[in-house]
């Protein structure tokens, strides 16, 4: 029988867990804010904006890395 204690790696990088993201702290802060304010989104807008900016920078960095590795550039 095969052992299932092994942690399988994602089939491709975009399938990685959110906890592996550089923006995990901002993501967690957004969720915590929603919990603390009974899901009243307007009170958490600053957290959402910080998370959105982090994701934007993460995406730009990924695109830049991919551009450097591209066969077509």
Per-residue b/e over 5-23, b at no fewer than 16 CB within 10 Å?
eeeeeeeeeeeeeeeeeeb
pLDDT score recorded for residue 70 = 67
CB 39 within 8 Å of CB 49: no
Residue in 69, 70, 29, 20 with CA at minimum distance from that of residue 52: 29
pTM exceeding the 0.95 threshold for the entire prediction: no
| Residue 10: pLDDT over 70 | no
pLDDT score recorded for residue 12 = 47
Distance, CA of 54 to chain centre: 9
pLDDT score recorded for residue 16 = 66
């Amino acid at each position: 029988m095969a052992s299932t204690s092994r942690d399988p790696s994602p089939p491709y990088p975009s399938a990685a867990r959110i906890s592996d993201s550089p923006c995990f702290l901002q993501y967690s802060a957004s969720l915590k804010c929603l919990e603390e304010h009974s899901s009243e989104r307007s009170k958490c807008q600053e957290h959402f904006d910080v998370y959105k900016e982090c994701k934007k920078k993460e995406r730009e960095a990924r695109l830049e890395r991919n551009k450097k590795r591209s066969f077509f550039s």
